[in-house]
Structure 1
Amino acid sequence: MTTPASSSANSLSGTPVVPGVAAGPVLHVRGEVSPDAIARFGDGDFADAEAALAAYDEAAVAVAETFSAKAADAQGAAAEVLTASAGLARDKGLRSAVAKNLQSGQGPVKAVQGAVEQFVTIFTNMGGLMAERVTDLRDIERRVVAHLVGEPPPGVPTPSEPSILVAEDLAPSDTSGLDPALVTALVTERGGATSHTAIIARQLGIPCVVGAAGCMEIPAGAFVVVDGETGVVEQGADPDEASARVEESRRLREELASWNGPASTSDGLPIKLLANVADGPSAASAGTEPVQGVGLFRTELCFLNRKDEPSVEEQADIYSDVLSPYSDGRYVVVRTLDAGSDKPIAFATQEGEENPALGVRGLRLSFGNPGLMDRQLDGIAAAAERTGTETWVMAPMVATVAEAADFAEKVHARGLKAGVMVEIPSAALLAHRMLEVVDFLSIGTNDLTQYAMAADRMATDLAHLTDPWQPAVLQLIAITAHAGVEAGKPVGVCGEAAADPLLATALIGMGISSLSMAARAVRPVGAQLGKVSFETCEAAAEAALGAPDPMAARAAVRELLGH
């Protein structure tokens, strides 16, 4: 079996997720609470279990408020995952488990650790997107315990000089506040191409390699070179040569950052580059970038903290804030609620599912609650009419043509364009029939990869499977793109794969008509596509599709493009 994780005497490698070269001393992140502080705290000398639970409540609220404050200062993906972590810190189920442990005679620290371990086991056994939240749970555990014992919260130390941050894994709270001037690259032992670390590193625009087994064994302070395009982390490199590589990488990135659109290949084929957004502020910010609209508005992220379903009028107000910046002739693709699994919403999702990643999520929520979908579509239609912005609407987690047809009928009745997400392999395999009933398709490569490869995105041992360059995933994308070409209807990509400039060339060569990504990634992708002809894109697609594994696919496309 070929995997991307390999090593030699002076280097190791993992999955490259953000291109660029950086060099500098290693700074380890080991965010554990001091054992001495825990020992001094002991059982906390509380009068009874109720008093100990009150101390837990105070700590959990403080941790949740810290997450919320960081989310308020962040944008895009960082804000999304921090808001989710705040909700998890306040989780009633977690509190009940802590209370039960306290009642059985455990001290507060052990009660918290035991409760978190219980949920870690549950989430891990669920697999899929729920397993991705294990890192968040561990982060919450450390922060709550630190608050209980009177220690500063764990996290990333502030570098005294530009450094390479190396960790087993990084929680959203660790990565969201990083200063790219001081943290010039990220390397983690765990995680895959769609992990929180990868997504936020891409938003920050710093080189990142994940799933690099053995990276924590690199001595602190050791000089390393990180190549975010090949995934190689090299020790013992000549400092002068490393400096030249970093400078060349910086020059190329600056050149890419100066690109202003509109996107097209070197021989004039127009390409739509779009932004992924979460709310009004992120939509307004993205609208100032050289994008032709929004390819993915994640509506569920507006409601993670809502206990009750907002009214149609409230929803219309929220959606209008997102649509308004694009009333200048650009368009917005609105995704209906992708609630469930790792994004529970109190008024929508079901509790107690054995495997929520494969359960009632996305479009499936409307099967037992059709009014939920009807009210959301009414809100979207009202916002579209109010702003005058061209609005397309798509549903997530569509598995059958009948589901697509029913959804399209509702959307068309409101005078809007209808599409579906291609996240389930069945949707890709039936793309030609899907396009008989909908106006467009949008491929969510994160979930499509996970479901096609039956591999949890956060399982380090399976990081080589959760890679959008996997041959099977590329074949499913190619099938879907070809169906769009034959039908004369648009097929886009809105998953993290769209933000990879190298992969973008192959996607366009397959027939993909639009790429939607974090706004920070638009310029590098647009600049890369402008350097190549459509014929070269087709050759890149052929090279990627013919490769035996992800690393070989990357290498083949890099060689073709002269990288």
Structure 2
Amino acid sequence: MWFRNVDTVGFTPDCVDLSIDSCNLVHMSTTSSSTSLHSSAHGTDVAQPPAGTVLQGIPAVAGVQYAPVIRPGSRPHVDDAPTGSDIEESDRPGEVSRFTAAAAAVADRLRERAANASGAASEVLATTAQLAQDRAWIAATEKRIGDGNPAVRAVTGAVDQFVTMFTQLGGLMAERVTDLRDIRDRVIAELNGLPEPGVPVPTVPSILCAEDLAPVDTAGLDASLVVALATTLGGPTSHTAIIARQLGIPCVVAVDGLDAVAAGTMIMVDGSVGTVTVSPDEAVATQAVEVARGEADLAKSWNGPGATADGHVVAILANVQDGAAARSARETPAEGIGLFRTELCFLNRSTEPSVDEQAQIYGDVLDAFDGCKVVIRTLDAGSDKPLKFVGHPDEANPALGVRGIRIALGNPGILTRQLEGIAAAAKKTGHAPWVMAPMIATPAEAEAFATETRAHGLVPGVMIEIPAAALLADRILEHVDFLSIGTNDLTQYTMAADRMSAELATLTDPWQPAVLALIAMTAKAGVAVGKPVGVCGEAAADPQLACVLVGLGVSSLSAAAAAVSAVGAKLSQVTLAQCRQAADAALATATAADARAAASAVLA
């Protein structure tokens, strides 16, 4: 629907109107398949970095691992459209059927894998399955077959047209290109009777390196064999990083020079500082791994509750997207749910769930954390998370358009029915959750949301994701009972940098001092009136940054369930005074790297 007015050669009007269904084409994360292997895999003359070379990237998931490199397996050779004669007109319906069957088979396998996965892995697999059967590219391929192209050539040509369109649009759209190519490769493999492309299963613990990785590939990793990830592209909040965090394996993204490192090379990945060391001294690397393992063991032994070494209480909570994830989080020391992403339950729905259906979904999460704090976020749809039943408008820049609470302006019933569902779940379970709205920009918006939320007997709060909201946090707190800082969006809006862009990964690092300054301002406003201010973005999953956030005045931290123990364990080793000193040190710097180094020196 976002490309209705794009002039694309060869597309009929129906194909140009990508419609609601084809929002899936732009929903996928930018973490995508490595469609071209690193240069050394092709035998080009890029030199292997000398032993001891330290490649710098962006830290995504803390930890250290030392192991040989593996790289994604080869994919179908589709750089050029396949040659060959056009097919006879009488054979074209059969060729269309062969193509649609291949696309359906790919989608079915992805759905099966989604059903057997959980959390973020299940989400990205299900979304990729939707992409495999998106009607826009399916229709474009069928049209090409109808013109006489064999299925493989038609698939390649259709995807290439979308790739050209997305590349020209740039920004968030350009980041979807490799997702499309990943689906293309899987469908072509199915058409040709070849094994589905993807990440090889190593026989020994290995480190997966790639230009970039498909959500499908990262979602299916075995953490006992793939012990770390490093990518040339990607950002700290990409799906690759998020799933690495869920798996509990170190991850470094946006690594300059990584493509030249050949498969089989021994490397050390340090996800805490964002480095990849090529052929390091074995004794040094082994010692670093042992130290990191000791820290990980300490984290595993931490049972909560959250507090600094001198007893300053900090609630350590989990982020979830459904009842299954909540039940899994319950097995960790998480003290509650700091972010229930309700929209992720509805991504595959073509119609809005009824109030009763919603009540059941919300009740599952409340039951999992009976008697504990649970914060439910109302639908954060739009931008990269379109919902079919919402009716998103055509927008040149969806990330700055009608998303989050703004959807309620044109669809007031959606918010009302969601609040009714939450209230019904609260009544049934006897557990009253807190409810917060995303994308609040003004005190007036906060007041309107709070009024309607209280009318349903619920506790209102809002997300601080927009710099304007951080700047006016004191006035917003006049209307709501709590704030929760979404550092992913706050960072991208503060730095004017797409958080999914690999080229801008250094700008979208949550350690950016400008972002920390806005967090400090927000937390200070909460302290002044005695109202809680939490952080539920990915920044809360970084143990070092978590200490800084506490030093800034944040009262709770909510992260992926897999990160809860590491965050809690780190906080238990430092005093509140150290956290405050680290925060002051980070705020006094001018770059994210300097902020990280300054805080680490205090917290070491």
Q: Give the counterpart of 1:546 among 579, 583, 588.
A: 588
Q: Does 1:385 align with 2:427?
A: yes
Distance 1:526 1:533, change over 3 A: same
- 1:470 partner amino acid: Q
Q: Give the counterpart of 1:272 among 315, 332, 335.
A: 315
Q: Distance in 1 between matches of 2:294 and 2:375?
A: 34
- Secondary structure of the 2:71 match is strand
Q: Give the counterpart of 2:515 among 470, 473, 488.
A: 473
- 1:67 partner amino acid: L
Contact 2:51 2:278 in 1 (8 A): no
2:182 is matched with which residue?
Answer: 139
Q: Distance in 2 between matches of 1:538 and 1:477?
A: 13
493-502 vs 360-369, which moves further? 360-369
Q: Distance in 2 between matches of 1:472 and 1:7?
A: 37
TM normalised by structure 1 equals: 0.94
2:5 is matched with which residue?
Answer: none
Q: Does 1:117 align with 2:160?
A: yes
Q: Alpha carbon RMSD of aligned pairs, Å?
A: 2.2
Contact 1:337 1:362 in 2 (8 A): yes
1:319 is matched with which residue?
Answer: 362
2:61 is matched with which residue?
Answer: 18
Contact 1:43 1:108 in 2 (8 A): no
User: Residue 105 of structure 1: CA displacement?
Assistant: 3.9
Distance 1:38 1:70, change over 3 A: farther
Q: Give the counterpart of 2:200 among 152, 157, 171.
A: 157
Q: Give the counterpart of 1:491 among 514, 533, 544.
A: 533
Aligned length: 556
Q: Distance in 2 between matches of 1:136 and 1:93?
A: 15
219-228 vs 195-204, which moves further? 219-228
1:29 is matched with which residue?
Answer: 72
Q: Distance in 1 between matches of 2:240 and 2:501?
A: 14
Q: How does 1:96-115 map to 2 (within 5 A)?
A: 96-115=139-158
Q: Distance in 1 between matches of 2:367 and 2:226?
A: 36
Measured against aligned partners, the alpha-carbon deviations of 1:166-202 in whole angstroms (never above 9, x if no partner) come to: 0011111111121111111100000010011000001
User: Residue 14 of structure 1: CA displacement?
Assistant: 0.3
Measured against aligned partners, the alpha-carbon deviations of 1:95-142 in whole angstroms (never above 9, x if no partner) come to: 222233334443322322333233344445666655554342222121
- Secondary structure of the 1:306 match is coil
Measured against aligned partners, the alpha-carbon deviations of 1:74-110 in whole angstroms (never above 9, x if no partner) come to: 2211112222212222211222222333344433223
Q: Distance in 2 between matches of 1:444 and 1:220?
A: 38
Contact 1:294 1:332 in 2 (8 A): yes
- 1:119 partner amino acid: F
Distance 1:38 1:418, change over 3 A: same
Q: Does 1:357 align with 2:409?
A: no
Q: Distance in 1 between matches of 2:354 and 2:159?
A: 35
Q: How does 1:58-457 map to 2 (within 5 A)?
A: 58-124=101-167, 131-327=174-370, 329-457=371-499
Contact 1:274 1:517 in 2 (8 A): yes
1:536 is matched with which residue?
Answer: 578
Q: Does 1:501 align with 2:543?
A: yes
- Secondary structure of the 1:29 match is coil
Q: Distance in 1 between matches of 2:341 and 2:172?
A: 16
User: Residue 384 of structure 1: CA displacement?
Assistant: 0.7
Measured against aligned partners, the alpha-carbon deviations of 1:380-416 in whole angstroms (never above 9, x if no partner) come to: 0000111112301111111121111111100011111
Measured against aligned partners, the alpha-carbon deviations of 1:406-444 in whole angstroms (never above 9, x if no partner) come to: 111000111111011111111111111111111111111
Distance 1:490 1:112, change over 3 A: same
User: Residue 261 of structure 1: CA displacement?
Assistant: 0.3
Q: Distance in 1 between matches of 2:466 and 2:421?
A: 27
2:597 is matched with which residue?
Answer: 555
Distance 1:20 1:110, change over 3 A: same
- 1:447 partner amino acid: D
Q: Distance in 1 between matches of 2:295 and 2:219?
A: 25
- 2:580 partner amino acid: E
Measured against aligned partners, the alpha-carbon deviations of 1:234-285 in whole angstroms (never above 9, x if no partner) come to: 1131212211221221122111111000010111111111111111111111
Unaligned stretches of 5+ in structure 1? 1-5
- Secondary structure of the 1:390 match is coil
Q: Distance in 1 between matches of 2:430 and 2:573?
A: 35
Q: Distance in 2 between matches of 1:130 and 1:422?
A: 25
Q: Give the counterpart of 1:512 among 535, 543, 554.
A: 554
Distance 1:40 1:112, change over 3 A: closer
Distance 1:241 1:484, change over 3 A: same
Unaligned stretches of 5+ in structure 2? 1-48
Percent identity between the two aligned chains: 57
- 2:122 partner amino acid: A
Contact 1:78 1:200 in 2 (8 A): yes
User: Residue 355 of structure 1: CA displacement?
Assistant: 2.0
2:27 is matched with which residue?
Answer: none
Q: Distance in 2 between matches of 1:201 and 1:12?
A: 20
- Secondary structure of the 2:447 match is helix
Q: Distance in 2 between matches of 1:321 and 1:251?
A: 36
